[in-house]
């Protein structure tokens, strides 16, 4: 009898303990949920491929799993290229709202932005949303094949031979570059005449004309030649390779710079990349994503000075390799100039303004703010939708 009573009491006590344990567990779970509802939650969404400078709009659907309305106090972006277009300030109970973001990338390569959504009030929380993707470069394509431009060119050796004669076949050498570039270095007996003034000089129309430009043939070069022929000039040619080709013959130039580096604009660089008939010497420290030809040599100036065969390997037998030189900011250094002067078998063209100028030119092309006569852009906008529960949902990570 006494034994049965003790057993009954033990069972009753054990049952109470179990209930207490269950109650404690429930309280712990509730506290965890409350803490979880107040903590930050994050999610990452892949935007896929984005186009440089082209706006893409993305909509986040935000859900409120609470039984009362949820107020969005603010939405902030961590990236200057990602802006908050609009958002619903109040999300109804057990309802959903929208946060719309606008992304307009200004740099090619990987893209990542984070958005923080602030919910003030009793259920205060800060959630984060992350977007990432890859910003592609504009598709650059050349309008005319290189073979169509061969009739425009005259070699430096031909110009040198013709300049030694004094007859009707002696060409007039006209430098179309800027006055600053002309004063730095130019061919002997050449004239610095802007294209607009050259058309009005009638006594030169009957003479063979040799034009000196940056050194690389562009679509603009053909348009210049055709324009002069329409103005009455009987023979117009362009010096193939510009000053670097002239210097390669061992011929002297006149000007303030005894060892000039030919400079090309960012637009000429992009057209040369589209044609893919040049090599690239990349001496940048910051290896940002930019259009490049198939032949790329990455060397520091010090490596270039000691690795004399690096550029020669990029040239074909008996060919003068045209090499585009790309730096971060476009500044010439004595080390770089000295290193390049040791490579007589290559023609170097220094990108004026460096990688930063190329990036800005890409942005202008992508925004259609400049005439893209030699380049065409294949860019499209996209709108993607991302759905996510951000409040009071235990299924959210």
> Of 201, 329, 123, which Cα lies nearest the Cα of 209?
201
Query: What DSSP character marks residue 98?
Result: E
Structure tokens given for 212: 């000196």
CA atoms of 273 and 125, how far apart (whole Å): 50
Q: What tens digit of pLDDT does each residue of 321-333 get? A: 788 999 888 887 7
Does residue 319 or residue 227 have the better pLDDT? Answer: 227
Kindly give, in sequence order, each residue whose CB lies less than 8 Å from that of residue 130, ignoring residues fewer than 6 positions away. Answer: 42, 43, 44, 45, 112, 113, 114, 115
What SS3 class is residue 138? coil
Please determine, for residue 355, whether its predicted confidence score (pLDDT) is greater than 80: yes
- pLDDT > 90: what percent of the chain? 7
Does residue 125 or residue 267 have the better pLDDT? Answer: 267
Give the angle 267-268-272 at the CA atoms, nearest 5°: 120
Q: What tens digit of pLDDT does each residue of 259-269 get? A: 677 889 988 88
Mean pLDDT on 195-213: 90
User: Starting from the edge strand earliest in sequence, which strands make up the sheet with 42-51, in order?
Assistant: 42-51, 125-136, 109-119, 74-77
Residue by residue, DSSP assigns 32-74 as: HHHHHHHS--EEEEEEEEEETT--EEEEEEEEE-SSS-EE--E
Please determine, for residue 74, whether its predicted confidence score (pLDDT) is greater than 50: yes
Query: In whole angstroms, what separates CA 293 from the centre of its chain?
Result: 14
Q: What tens digit of pLDDT does each residue of 263-308 get? A: 899 888 888 888 777 888 888 887 777 877 777 888 776 676 666 5
* CATH for the stretch 146-307+314-366: 3.40.250.10
Structure tokens given for 196: 């607009």
What are the residues facing 205 on neighbouring strands? none
Q: What tens digit of pLDDT does each residue of 135-171 get? A: 887 766 555 544 456 678 899 999 988 888 777 778 9
Structure tokens given for 219: 């679509």
CA atoms of 210 and 108, how far apart (whole Å): 39
327 close to 351: Cβ distance less than 8 angstroms: yes
Query: In whole angstroms, what separates CA 59 from the centre of its chain?
Result: 26
Number of residues assigned to the chain: 397
What SS3 class is residue 125? strand
State the burial class of residue 83 (Cβ atoms within 10 Å of its Cβ: 0-12, 13-18, 19+): middle
The single residue listed with the structure tokens 């992009």 is 270
Which pLDDT does position 25 carry in this prediction?
A: 62
Mean per-residue pLDDT of the chain: 75
Structure tokens given for 296: 């790329």
Please determine, for residue 394, whether its predicted confidence score (pLDDT) is greater than 50: no
Query: In whole angstroms, what separates CA 265 from the centre of its chain?
Result: 16
Mean pLDDT on 373-379: 38
Task: Describe the crossing of helices 354-366 and 266-275 by its angle, rounded to 10 degrees.
Answer: 80
Give the H or E element holding residue 4. helix 2-38
Give the H or E element holding residue 84. strand 82-87
**DSSP tally for the chain: helices H, then strands E:** 10, 20
216 close to 372: Cβ distance less than 8 angstroms: no
Domain spans in the chain, listed from the N-terminal domain onward: 42-136, 146-307+314-366
The CATH class of 42-136 is: mainly beta
């Amino acid at each position: 009898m006494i034994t049965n009573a003790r057993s009954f009491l033990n069972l009753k006590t054990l049952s109470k303990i179990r209930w207490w344990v269950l109650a404690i567990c429930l309280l712990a779970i509730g506290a965890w949920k409350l803490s979880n509802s107040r903590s930050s939650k994050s999610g990452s969404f892949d935007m896929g491929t984005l186009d440089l400078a082209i706006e893409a709009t993305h909509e986040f659907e935000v859900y409120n799993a609470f039984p009362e309305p949820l107020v969005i106090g603010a939405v902030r972006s961590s990236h200057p290229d990602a802006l908050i277009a609009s958002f619903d300030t109040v999300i109804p109970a057990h309802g959903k709202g929208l946060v719309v973001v606008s992304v307009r990338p200004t740099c090619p390569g990987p893209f990542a932005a984070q958005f923080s959504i602030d919910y003030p009030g009793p259920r205060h929380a800060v959630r984060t949303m992350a977007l990432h993707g890859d910003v592609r470069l504009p598709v650059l394509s050349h309008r005319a094949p290189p073979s169509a431009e061969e009739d425009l060119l005259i070699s430096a050796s031909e110009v040198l031979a013709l300049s030694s004669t004094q007859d009707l076949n002696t060409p007039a050498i006209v430098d179309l570059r800027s006055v600053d570039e002309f004063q730095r270095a130019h061919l002997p007996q050449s004239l610095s005449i802007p294209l607009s003034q050259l058309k009005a000089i009638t006594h030169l129309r009957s003479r063979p004309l040799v034009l000196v430009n940056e050194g690389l043939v562009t679509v603009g070069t053909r348009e210049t030649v055709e324009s002069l022929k329409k103005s009455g000039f009987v023979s117009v040619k362009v010096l193939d390779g510009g000053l670097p080709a002239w210097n390669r013959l061992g011929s002297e130039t006149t000007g303030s710079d005894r060892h000039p580096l030919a400079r090309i604009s960012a637009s000429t660089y992009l057209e040369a990349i589209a044609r893919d008939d040049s090599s690239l010497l990349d001496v940048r420290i910051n290896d940002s994503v930019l259009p490049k030809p198939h032949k790329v040599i990455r060397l520091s100036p010090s490596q270039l000075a000691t690795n004399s065969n690096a550029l020669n390997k990029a040239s074909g037998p008996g060919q003068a390799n045209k090499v585009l030189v790309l730096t971060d900011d476009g500044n010439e250094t004595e080390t770089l100039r000295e290193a390049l002067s040791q490579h007589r078998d290559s023609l170097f063209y220094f990108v004026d303004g460096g990688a930063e100028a190329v990036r800005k030119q890409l942005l202008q092309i992508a925004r259609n703010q400049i005439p893209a006569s030699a380049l065409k852009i294949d860019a499209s906008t996209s709108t993607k939708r991302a759905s996510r529960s951000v409040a009071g949902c235990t299924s959210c990570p």
